[in-house]
Amino acid sequence: MVLTESIYAKSPNVYVAAAADDPFVPKQTYLDQIHVNEAWEVATANTNITIAIVDTGVDLNHPDLKPNLVSGVNLINPNRPPQDDNGHGTNVAGVVAAVGNNDRGVSGILWKAQIMPIKALEADGSGGEAKLGEGIRYAVDHGAKIVVLSLGLNKYSNYMNDVVQYAEEQDVLLVAATGNEGNRVKYPAAYPTVLAVGGMTTGNTADSRSNTGPEIDLVAPWDVFTTARGGSYEYKDGTSMAAPQVAAVAALAWGRNPGMKAYQIRQLLRQTADDLEETGWDSSTGYGMLRADRALKEMPLADMYEPNNRKDQAKSISVSKMIAASFTNGSDQDWYYLDAPYNGKLNLTFDIPDGQQVAVQHTDANGSFSSVTAKPGQPVSVQVSKGRSYVQLQLVNRNLKQEVLYKLTTAFEIYRDQFEDNDRQYSASVLPPRSQTIKGTFHQISDQDWFELPIEQSGTLSIRLSTDTARIDPVLFVQKQGEKSYTVDDGEDGVTESLLLPEVFPGSYYIRVSNVKEYLFPVMGEYTLTIDYDAKQIDPNEPNNRSYQATTVSLETSYYGLIDKPDDLDWFQFRVQEDSLVQINLTDIPSDIVMYMYLYDGSMRPMANTDGSNALQLQQRLPAGTYYVKVSANEAFDRNLYQFKVNAKTLVGNFTDIRGHWAQDSILEMSRNQAIDGYADYTFRPNQTITRAEATTILSRAFNLSKQKTIAYTDLSPSHWAFVHIARAAQSAIIDGYPDRSFAPDQPVSRMEMVSMFARSLNKTGKQRGDVPFTDVDNDYWGVGILKQLKAEGWIGGYADGSFRPDQQASRAEFVTMLAKMKP
């Protein structure tokens, strides 16, 4: 599908080859990398739009730039012209539009253009968000259609967000560099509607110095040869030189498609990029390398993500960006996957015609499922775990026949850390008195975290505060109650702060972790607080050297101990009240120590043992009773306490996660009949969506299918764990593949597909007579006959509101409950 023809300018099928005759073009190797010569076959200029460069100004007298310059402004000194006193802006301008084919110097990607120089940075290249925002607004208000921003800040602000939104509302394309620190994407590139450009090596890989992350869109060559102050030329590098390449190609593409909007130009450049690393979008190279030729020669697509009608066709998108796509009609499903960098919340906002709503079904990285309905312009949220999750989108109005374009803006909010609420000293989170490493977040405005470290013995205290993002400029504050305080902040973003107190005495030490006061807003990133406390410890559990002296421990509670003598043994005992899955953990083992752990039953018969360093774990199914654990080490230690903890999950049948669940009885019944089983960790995961492979296997077992059909699906090998059961179900016509000869074994099963599988298993073909039984199904729906028959016969019911929600993904619990009801 393509955009309407009215906004796509037709061109002849034969192009005239174009090549610049400028003498330094051979030094501009980046032009070959992005295939500019092939693009010049189509167009070499765009003088119908203005391109603003918000930077250090431009050398207004440079002979290779002057013909392409229009009036600009100097925001640093309004009484003077925007003359470049640094050189950076002149470098950027040359990449965009040094006059081409004039037998002089270099060639810009645009041979002829209208470049508006806006000086918003000082002579040393520094500047603040006030002048940056003013520069963008000036450009927008004075007719610019593209604004190049080869600069960046680590700081988010509402002010800059509003400026960026203003540009978007005025249909102005912002193109910004991601930054050169090998860290996270800087602002303004990180705002959802800004085209964020990273740097690429000559080998077509992401440059290690280029900032990356969820907000990146494209990459372009890192190294350029371009115009310099004083009418000269020089080599320059960085994402500052990559961004103007994208802006220039955007201008050429906009000249070819003058009716397009800024967001459609963004999508066209994404659509025509060369995929470099992971298939689809990724956090290192975005959608891939800028391709000037493809941007000018390929038809713009209304939905570049198609085909994505199934989970196995899901396309990668960012957790923090705006994209554009379409629903072909009401039955079209759009599947996407997102890789969340942390646990947190994902907000989705749809720009979609009034009167339409989007049904969002989310499958988290941990397998949990949720659904929500989104209205135009109103954000909806889903909880996400670190890792890959999937969203399935579909119009609520399934009967709609026409295409519906939509824009989707995703925004990620990081999790609230486990130590909250600790924003004040009086609510400080109390830490155990030992060495430890903890992770935290700044999840809300003006967040700061207080900790109390009770020191029980004199010793040495070393504290280190580090972050995984330059968006945090960490500040470390330490004070012993009632005594002198220490504040450590070297003033640079993302740099580790450290404090060593060579002698500490018993008492409470308060530690405050914060971001610099200018960085008030929530941050997508974590800090790590490392506390090294070196003191001679005392084992609080002694004497426990004999089994009859064993320390009685409560489940789910941490206990700490030492092996402080060569022949020391530590005994613990615990009791489980019911058949349970028990996990015994021994952690915080000193790095140079090997520890041993032995499990005994109530009669002191050995049951299991393990040994090693760093951490030990024993996991075993245990009936109700009393148990003993013996702990020892290869040598004594008295500086670090180990941690001992026993966790137990009560088993119902063979599962730890179905007690009290509404489907518990059905799960137990089908488990006893060996129609279903759980996972290796003794879970059934009743609320997890069921896949086609799982559903087919359960039906094959439940109905004792034995005959097999010869099957050859493109995505299912004979070694697949469900292959035999799928072959049996195919023989019985319970299930089949898709028209493209795939089976999609990991595709979630919808409620309608679930009902259809059971109907085929029972040889029920459906009926056409009678009233439609559910409010969200009509007589044109493909499964209405089956629904009528099974509802009339009492096999199925709907929801309290009279709906059936046929396209909602079915859970494992729903499937097993229906199986228990229908199994002969």
Give helix 812-822 / helix 692-702 axis angle, nearest 10°. 20
CA–CA distance, 95 with 100 (Å, rounded to integer): 11
Q: What's the gap between Cα 412 and its chain centre?
A: 8
Phi, psi (rounded to 5 degrees) for 145: -105, -20
Q: Is 88 a catalytic residue?
A: yes
- Looking at residue 5, its pLDDT comes to 28
Range 447-482 burial, b when 16+ CB lie within 10 A, else e: bbbbbbbebeeebebebbbbbbbbbbbbbbbbbbee
Measure the CA–CA gap between 629 and 598, rounded to whole angstroms: 5
Selecting among 55, 59, 339, 473, the annotated active-site residue is 55
Q: Which residues of the chain have pLDDT under 50?
A: 1-17
The answer to whether residues 571 and 549 touch, using CB atoms and an 8 Å cutoff, is yes
Angle of helix 692-702 relative to helix 723-731, nearest 10 degrees?
Answer: 70
Domains 32-297 and 547-650 share a fold: no
CATH fold of the domain at 32-297: Rossmann fold (3.40.50)
CB of 721 closer than 8 Å to CB of 753: no
DSSP letter (8 states) at residue 299? P
Per-residue model confidence as pLDDT tens digits over 273-324: 999 988 899 999 999 999 999 999 999 999 999 999 999 999 999 999 999 9
Q: Which of 107, 240, 318, 326 is catalytic?
A: 240
Distance CA 86, CA 162 (A): 29
Alpha-carbon torsion (68, 73, 75, 79), positive or negative = positive
Fold of the domain built from segment(s) 425-522:
Jelly Rolls (2.60.120)
**Residue 271, C-beta contacts closer than 8 angstroms, at least 6 positions apart:** 287, 298, 300, 301, 304
Supply the pLDDT for residue 4. Answer: 26
* 240 carries an active-site annotation: yes
Q: Which fold has domain 547-650?
A: Jelly Rolls (2.60.120)
Task: State residue 490's pLDDT score.
Answer: 84
Please check whether residue 302 is in contact with residue 232, taking contact to mean a CB–CB distance below 8 angstroms. Answer: no
Architecture of the CATH domain 311-414: Sandwich (2.60)
For position 7, what pLDDT does the model report? 30
The rounded distance, in Å, linking the Cα atoms of 411 and 340 is 11
Rounded to 10 degrees, what is the CA torsion of 95, 100, 106, 110? 10
End-to-end CA distance of the chain: 48
Pull the structure tokens for residue 85.
């006193």
- Domain range list for the chain: 32-297, 311-414, 425-522, 547-650, 664-822
pLDDT at 564: 87
Residue with tokens 């330059």: 470
Q: Which of 35, 88, 362, 725 is catalytic?
A: 88
- 752 vs 769: CA distance, rounded Å: 19
Report pLDDT for 538: 81
Q: What is the pLDDT of residues 453-471, one digit of tens each?
A: 999 888 899 999 999 999 9
Residues 6 or more apart from 111 whose CB is under 8 A from it? 20, 44, 45, 97, 99, 100, 101
Asked whether 54 and 118 are in contact (CB, 8 A), the reply is: yes
